[in-house]
Chains A and B, each alone.
Chain A
Amino acid sequence: MPRERGDLFKDLMDGVFLMNEELAVKAAKEVVEAGYDVYDAINHGLVAGMNKAGILYEKEEYFVPELLICSDAMYAGLEILRPHIKTDSASEKHKAVIGVMEGDTHDIGKNLVKIMMDAAGFEMYDLGRNVPLANFVEKAKEVNAELICMSTLMTTTMDGMASVIEMLKEEGIRNSFKVMIGGGPISQGFARRIGADGYADNATNAVDLAKKLLANSGLKQGRTE
């Protein structure tokens, strides 16, 4: 007899937010064996766990190490569950391109934003770090993204964000994307000055910002959980 859905979903959630990867992996395998809805298991189990971790992060009970280990458990569970997602439930995700500016190799902040946006149901295209500026534009066009997310820790590379926005304008496609930025030296004022659509000061706020920008965007509507 397989265990109840609710039990397994709770193990998925606990496995993620209590940093117990083994628990999450075991529960994910049981979900597949029992034939339960994998999409529900991801959302009510793994993602719910990551959201709980995000709340603890905002309350300054979790910090970067905890969030990274929670995400390891989430991704380990996803690896088992994802191949079993029915395609119709997997479609319609918001797409976002993310990366660290050219000249900068600090990527912990970007990685956290990517993790939390992944968990929030965005389809993330991660360009990595030290990303040539034109790549943000090219990738966003190629995958038909709605969001471009840029990060930097350095004052020497922050102006690259303005350059990317200029490139979008020059190509006449500025209004096809929402641009959000973040990182150590970045501020709301800087975002306003360079014409970005928004600034977030941490990974959980970045998710809220992304949702808000798309809700008001008039860009194509999709689904985020």
Chain B
Amino acid sequence: MNATIPADTQTSLERVVSYLKGEKPQRVACFPLILNHAARVLGVPIGKYNRDGKTMGKAHVAAFRRYGNDLILIFSTTSTLAEAMGTKMAFFDEDAPQIAEPFIKERSDLSKLRIPVFSKDGRLPVYMEATEIAIEEVGSEVCVSTVFAGPLTTAAALYPVDQLTRDLIKNKAWVHELMEICTQAGLMFVDEILKRKSLPILVEPIGSASLISPTHFKEFVAPYLKRISDHVHKTGGGLPAVLHICGKTTPNWKAMLEAEFDIWSLDNVDLGQAKASVGHRVALVGNVTPANLLKNTPEEIDAEAREICQKMGDLRGFILGSGCEVPINTPPENIDALITSARKYGRFDS
């Protein structure tokens, strides 16, 4: 079977640059969202990956060498910015860190909240070092990105999410004040990422329609995201603004357009419907079901990826990927199957 699949003639970086130039790549690019799973490839505990920049960087280099994924994503948790601003995390040897104690316990604590210092606060230096290592070692072969949380997601890691969601209705002015600080921190994160020649990718899972309405998205998310996309457009030297939102997003698509990102990575949606509805405005990344990557067979992954590619019609403005993080314990052969399916079903040269 493999004999019938043409070999790649472009490097990963060339493939992604084709998209950015508006040219047809040889085949559809493939972004399995490999995050903490990179530690498995290097054979180090997840806990070490998350706390040591060198290890994190080397893990992503190793994952790229192993899989040939078309995007490296330097990432630990969606709470990293909040952690640098005072939220306490719990660390585990064999799982990603989780929030242990949010910084803001009552609303008056907001007055103590400060934008972090990127050279020292929390694990921001871990991110920066990991980014530098990946850029240095494989930056000429593959697009390297660094993932940071959007303002609402950072806010939800600074203040208990059930309280925050209530305050979207009950204490709007206070939430906007919190969002302003989180946005400023995000803008600085963009600067730090761009300075290191990496692509900033914004993740805003708390803006998912699994949680909030289009009305709240328009009021509390879109205006702040737009400031960040504007900033990337202004200072990124032609780089696209990239947005990932996990879970269900379909009801929020219209509101999401107002944030003016160029590329959306979507999770639990019908990607064909997304193409029909917003494909004229954004490029789409997605969306093989993450739990299926963990539990299904390579043949089933191939079938799921083929169905997604077929839904995407002419394949323009489409990148095959996982809907959300590749589960930590995903069998490597399933990631291979996903990337192979991009070679099989994502051809522009046939």
A binds B: yes
Please give the distance in Å from B25's CB to the nearest CB on chain A: 30
Shortest distance between the CB of B98 and any CB in chain A (Å): 5
In contact, A66 and B213 (Cβ under 8 angstroms): yes
Q: Is the CB of A187 within 8 A of B291?
A: yes
Interface size range on A against B: 20 to 34
Pairwise interchain contact A155-B168, C-beta atoms closer than 8 A = no
Q: Which of A60, A111, A155, A190 has the largest count of B CB atoms less than 10 A from its CB? A: A155
Q: Which of B98, B166, B216, B328 is the one whose CB lies under 8 Å from A68? A: B166
Q: Which of A183-207 contact B (CB under 8 A)?
A: 184-187, 190, 193
Question: Which has the most chain A C-beta neighbours within 10 Å: B96, B166, B216, B328?
Answer: B166
Are the CB atoms of B212 and A186 closer together than 8 Å?
no
Instruction: For the complex, give the distance between the alpha carbons of A172 and B169 in Å.
Output: 48
Q: Which residues of B contact A66 (CB under 8 A)?
A: 169, 213
B99 touching A69, Cβ below 8 Å: no
**Interface residue A156 (Cβ < 8 Å from any Cβ of B):** yes
The answer to whether B212 touches A65, judged by C-beta atoms less than 8 angstroms apart, is yes
A116-158 contact mask (Cβ, 8 Å, vs B): 1 or 0 = 0000000000000000000000000000000000000011101
Residues of chain B in range 65-98 having any CB-CB distance to chain A below 8 Å: 92, 94-96, 98
Task: Flag B198-230 by CB within 8 Å of A: 1 or 0 each.
Answer: 000000000001111100100000000000000
Interface string of A55-67 (1 = CB under 8 A from B): 0000011111110
Q: How many A-B residue pairs have CB under 8 A?
A: 69
The docked-state distance in angstroms from the alpha carbon of A127 to that of B213 is 29
Smallest CB gap from A68: residue in B: B166
Measured CB to CB, the nearest residue on chain A to B250 is A60
Residues of chain B within 8 A of A60, CB atoms compared: 209, 213, 251
Taking the closest CB of chain A, its distance from the CB of B343, in whole angstroms, is: 26
B290: interface (CB < 8 Å): yes
Interface set, chain A 24-80, CB cutoff 8 A to B: 60-66, 68-69, 72
Inter-chain CA distance A63–B210, complex, in Å, is 7
Report yes or no: B327 in contact with A156, Cβ–Cβ below 8 A: yes
CB-CB < 8 A to A104: which residues of B? 98
A58 to chain B, nearest CB (A): 12
Q: How large is the interface on B (under 10, 10 to 19, 20 to 34, 35 or more residues)?
A: 20 to 34
For the complex, give the distance between the alpha carbons of A108 and B206 in Å. Answer: 12
User: Is B290 touching A64 in the complex (CB atoms < 8 A)?
Assistant: no
Q: In the complex, are the beta carbons of B291 and A108 less than 8 A apart?
A: no
Report B144-177 residues with CB < 8 Å from chain A CB: 161-162, 165-166, 168-170
Residues of A within 8 A of B98 (CB): 104-105
Cα A65 to Cα B207 with chains together (Å): 12
Which of chain B's residues have a CB closer than 8 A to the CB of A184?
Answer: 210, 246-247
**Does A19 belong to the interface (CB within 8 Å)?**
yes
User: Inside 8 A of B161's CB, which chain A residues have their CB?
Assistant: 108
Q: Are B291 and A105 in contact (CB under 8 A)?
A: no
The answer for the CA separation of A104 and B291 in the assembled complex, in Å, is: 16
Contacts of A155 in B (CB 8 A): 290-291, 294, 327-329
> Contact at B211–A64, with CB atoms within 8 Å?
yes
Q: Which residues of A contact B95 (CB under 8 A)?
A: 103, 154, 156
Known A68-B166, A103-B95; contact A63-B216, beta-carbon cutoff 8 A: yes
Chain B proximity of A124: nearest CB distance (Å)? 17
Q: Which of A69, A72, A104, A185 has the most CB of B within 10 A?
A: A185
> Using Cβ atoms and an 8 Å threshold, which residues of chain B touch A62?
213
Given contacts A64-B211, A105-B98, A190-B291, contact A156 B328 (CB under 8 A): yes
**In the bound complex, how far is the Cα of B95 from the Cα of A104, in angstroms?**
10
B291 with A69: CB separation less than 8 A: no
Q: Are A68 and B162 in contact (CB under 8 A)?
A: yes
Q: Please, what's the 1-or-0 string for B245-265, where 1 marks a CB less than 8 Å from any CB in chain A?
A: 011000100000000000000
Q: Decide: A63 and B212 in contact? CB cutoff 8 A.
A: yes
- Let me know if B295 is at the binding interface, CB within 8 A: yes
Please give, as numbers and ranges, the residues of chain B lying within 8 Å of A64 by CB-CB distance. Answer: 165, 210-212
Tell me, rounded to whole Å, the shortest Cβ–Cβ distance linking A185 to chain B. Answer: 4
Interface positions, chain A 168-225, Cβ under 8 Å from B, are 184-187, 190, 193
A158 touches B213 (CB 8 A): no
CB neighbours of A193 from chain B (8 A):
295
In the complex, the answer to whether B213 meets A63 with C-beta atoms within 8 Å is yes
Q: For residue B98, which residue of chain A has the nearest CB?
A: A105
Cβ-defined contact, A65 with B169, below 8 A: yes
Complex contacts, A185 vs chain B, CB 8 Å: 290-291, 294, 327
Task: Chain B residues near A158: list those with CB within 8 A.
Answer: 291
State whether A156 touches B169 (Cβ < 8 A).
no
Least CB distance, B198 to chain A, in whole angstroms: 26
The contact sample of 30 A-B pairs, CB cut-off 8 A, is A19-B169, A60-B213, A61-B213, A62-B213, A63-B212, A63-B213, A63-B216, A64-B165, A65-B166, A65-B169, A65-B213, A66-B213, A68-B162, A69-B166, A103-B95, A105-B98, A105-B99, A108-B161, A108-B162, A108-B211, A155-B328, A155-B329, A156-B95, A156-B329, A184-B247, A185-B291, A185-B294, A186-B291, A190-B295, A193-B295
Interface, chain A (partner B; CB < 8 A) = 19, 60-66, 68-69, 72, 103-105, 108, 111, 154-156, 158, 184-187, 190, 193
